Structure 1
Amino acid sequence: MHPLSKTSRDWLLVIIFLAISAVLYLVPTGFESAKDENSVHCAARVIAVDDAEIQVLGMIRAGEQAVELEILDGPFQGETFTANNQLMGQLDRDKLFKPGDKAYVILTVDGDGKVVFVNPQAHYRLGLELFLLGLFAALLLLFGGLTGFKALLSFVFTGLVLWKVLVPLLLKGTDPVWLTLCVVALLSAVIIFLVAGVNRTGLTAFLGALLGVVASCAMGIYFTRHFHVHGAVMPFAETLLYAGYGHLNLTRVFMAGVFLSSCGAVMDLAMDVASAMSEVVAKKPGISRMEAIWSGIRVGRAVVGTMTTTLLLAYSGGFVTLLMAFMAQGIPLDTTFNFIYVAAEVLKTLVGSFGLVTVAPFTALAGGLLMTAGESAATDSAH
């Protein structure tokens, strides 16, 4: 039998992971029973509003906004209801509707199927989210062709694994660090082998990324303890505890999040180094193992500088208003960085950057061992 060509292997992988993604989509999470069976979720058009009961205190609004809604889908499509939009004086949660807006509405029904309560929960955003997703997919396919399709498939597969595997198992009490490490290893293998193919280049990138993530994991566990950072710094952590999940170890969840959030950049750098080493070995088949390793390290040096800055900018965007608030109040820099929320972000940034710095030599070492071993190494790495 003739071995499969590279294109055939690529399509075989695509078909396999399409099937796995379909199965993941259909598999229940086990938390469907927590859904309120007496509620109907739908979209509605805001016909009219009445702001007479709203009290304005500076930037804060409190009171009730009366909203007249026309249901746009579901079993009550076409019907009109009047609801109260409760304003709590919290800028991050309150919303104001105006005529013509589209609202996401939850209808509570009784045993006879009659609507007993109407909750205009938020502005309707699902349509725009789907539009952006479709635009992203179209551009990726147009620009990348088959490689773009594989990247899109890895994107979908990653989302499904996070929602269908990681989150449910975390809620069920599985150890967050070990679970996340296994999930990251799985995702790294799928993403890298889908994009690079099942060859020495892909294996090199996978080993380098995995070793970099393991290094980040170890650093995250050690420094989370010594920073005295606990899981309550994460958004909605207390809400989760009060919702009946007091058994969860949120500090371990935070540790897992430290290296989970940086694994994408780690995979990116590992793929860059592995691809460059593959080209070097293909152009110079007789290259020695040490020459190949040093080539990989030199490529890593060129990339790692911008990648660590990328992590800093990505994390800074999430807490820039916190830094602004501290500066506006004249709080000294040492006090700012000693504050637990800032310290948590510093921990994520530096531990993630540590993983990036280590992944380059790890990948170079793996590439030197794999790509220069055996007579067919150069040919295999090129294909």
Structure 2
Amino acid sequence: MKAYLKTHPDILLVILFAGLCWILFALPTGYDQLISKDTHYDKARVLSVDNSDIMVHAIVKAGTQDLEVKMLAGPFKGEKARVINALKGKMELDEIYQKGQVILVQYTVINGKIKTAYSNGHYRISHEVWLLGLFALLLLAVGGWTGLKALLSFALAGLMLWKIMVPLFLKGYDPIPIALAVVGFLTLAISLLVGGLTRRGAVTFFGAFLGLGFTCILALYFNESFRIHGAVRPFAETLLYSGFYDLQITRIFLAGIFIASSGAVMDLAMDIAASMDEVKKNNPDISLKDHIRSGMSVGRAVIGTMTTTLLLAYSGGYMTMMMLFMAQGVPLINFFNINFVAAEVLNTLVGSFGLVTVAPFTAAVGGFVYHFRPDGILKKTMPVTSEEMKHCASQIRTE
């Protein structure tokens, strides 16, 4: 067993990070106690609806929808209950239910009975679990052992964001160093999980982290001239009204810039590191200069598609906003000067800067990592002669 672990050190990494995921899953966020112990969330099926109290104003609906439901889970499974669907007059938040649909019900229990119950949207949890399960199966089927490590890194990233970064943001800590530390740790973990405890994993980490650090510096610098307030992000103002008055929402917005680009940065760094690793294996005598050049060649090939990926990913989330301004005939000079649009321009261009710079960073780091001995002396770039190989072998036997 010990010999197997020595030849497969990535198993230890998988066990280590799987244990960390379990710890993070059980770790309280500090905000769980805000939910009353008498409050329950269970799914229910709608038996009948009463729309008499709904007021329609053009395309907006307000008022309440009264529902009769049958509980499908929880301590009151099989029992009927009255549920209130309070409409806020916002289409992105409101849902109108029909008979036979399954919804999530939030209710309080007093003296062993349901006191008040409200609808919390269509029940989507089961579909989300099925979709996640299919994704995991596909990842394992296609990737095998590497797919398992990728799935573990996916879970670790989600837990780190939800259990560590978000609670620290809410507690008022400076978002920039917190986000940089979390993303740095995730970069290290994912680089080692996918690349292994090898030079390839080390090159991936250092190249990606240098690119992310540069992205962070650019975001801080250019936001001074762009003058973007963090309230441009959805629910930011609602968060302030919820009692979190001291949140640094602008710095949260800036942290989100390099968080959003970190995945693409790691992807590009891994591509370059893996290619340089293959080049070194197939041509051990390649010179430092040629090795760096080969890494840059791969970086140039990937940069074009990666920057376009960021543009499409960011613009896709704001498609309706672009349609609105075009439909109203807003001039381009006004369009790009609006704070929402300028925020996306800053997001896209700064993230793209990180992608472009990660290529030379990773190529340079890879060149020096692969061409240095443990004692810090550069390896010879000339072919190794048979006499030198015999001398090295004799030295090893002597030691």
TM-score of the two chains, using structure 1 as the length reference: 0.95
Give, in angstroms, the shift of residue 3 of structure 1: 7.7
Amino acid aligned to 2:244: Y
Pair 1:295-2:328 in alignment: no
Q: Conserved in 2, the CA contact under 8 Å of 1:215 and 1:355? A: yes
CA distance in 2, matches of 1:88, 1:15: 47
Change (3 A) 1:6 1:102: farther
Pair 1:8-2:8 in alignment: yes
Amino acid aligned to 2:107: L
CA distance in 1, matches of 2:171, 2:13: 31
Find the counterpart in structure 1 of residue 330 from structure 2.
Answer: 331
Amino acid aligned to 1:358: T
CA distance in 1, matches of 2:5, 2:84: 63
For residues 294-333 of structure 1, give each alpha carbon's deviation from its aligned partner in whole angstroms, at most 9, with x where no partner exists.
Answer: 1111110000000000000000011111111000000001
User: Helix, strand or coil: the match of 1:338?
Assistant: coil
Find the counterpart in structure 2 of residue 157 from structure 1.
Answer: 156
Find the counterpart in structure 2 of residue 360 from structure 1.
Answer: 359
1:92-171 matched pairs, under 5 angstroms: 92-110=92-110, 112-171=111-170
Change (3 A) 1:89 1:242: closer
Q: Conserved in 2, the CA contact under 8 Å of 1:281 and 1:372? A: no
CA RMSD of aligned residues (A): 1.7
Q: Conserved in 1, the CA contact under 8 Å of 2:215 and 2:350? A: yes
CA distance in 2, matches of 1:366, 1:3: 31
Amino acid aligned to 1:23: I
Give, in angstroms, the shift of residue 99 of structure 1: 1.1
Find the counterpart in structure 1 of residue 232 from structure 2.
Answer: 233
Over the matched positions of the two proteins, sequence identity in percent amounts to: 50
Pair 1:71-2:74 in alignment: no
CA distance in 2, matches of 1:27, 1:215: 32
Give, in angstroms, the shift of residue 273 of structure 1: 0.5
Q: Conserved in 1, the CA contact under 8 Å of 2:292 and 2:364? A: yes
Find the counterpart in structure 1 of residue 50 from structure 2.
Answer: 50
Instruction: Show structure 1 runs of 5+ residues with no match.
Output: 378-383
Give, in angstroms, the shift of residue 247 of structure 1: 1.2
Find the counterpart in structure 1 of residue 393 from structure 2.
Answer: none
Amino acid aligned to 2:36: D
Find the counterpart in structure 2 of residue 210 from structure 1.
Answer: 209
Q: Conserved in 1, the CA contact under 8 Å of 2:314 and 2:344? A: yes
Find the counterpart in structure 2 of residue 224 from structure 1.
Answer: 223
Find the counterpart in structure 2 of residue 257 from structure 1.
Answer: 256
User: Helix, strand or coil: the match of 1:77?
Assistant: coil
Change (3 A) 1:6 1:376: farther
For residues 151-207 of structure 1, give each alpha carbon's deviation from its aligned partner in whole angstroms, at most 9, with x where no partner exists.
Answer: 000000111111111111111111100011111110001011101101111111111
Change (3 A) 1:283 1:142: same
For residues 66-111 of structure 1, give each alpha carbon's deviation from its aligned partner in whole angstroms, at most 9, with x where no partner exists.
Answer: 211111111111110122322232111110111111101000223x
TM-score of the two chains, using structure 2 as the length reference: 0.91
Find the counterpart in structure 2 of residue 371 from structure 1.
Answer: 370
**Structure (1 or 2) with the larger CA radius of gyration:** 2
Find the counterpart in structure 2 of residue 380 from structure 1.
Answer: none
User: Helix, strand or coil: the match of 2:9?
Assistant: helix
Instruction: Show structure 2 runs of 5+ residues with no match.
Output: 374-378, 382-399
For residues 253-304 of structure 1, give each alpha carbon's deviation from its aligned partner in whole angstroms, at most 9, with x where no partner exists.
Answer: 1111111100000000000001011111111101111111111111100000
Amino acid aligned to 1:268: D
For residues 320-347 of structure 1, give each alpha carbon's deviation from its aligned partner in whole angstroms, at most 9, with x where no partner exists.
Answer: 1111100000000111110001110111
Give, in angstroms, the shift of residue 31 of structure 1: 1.3
Give, in angstroms, the shift of residue 57 of structure 1: 3.3
CA distance in 2, matches of 1:56, 1:376: 79
CA distance in 2, matches of 1:77, 1:303: 54
Amino acid aligned to 2:305: T
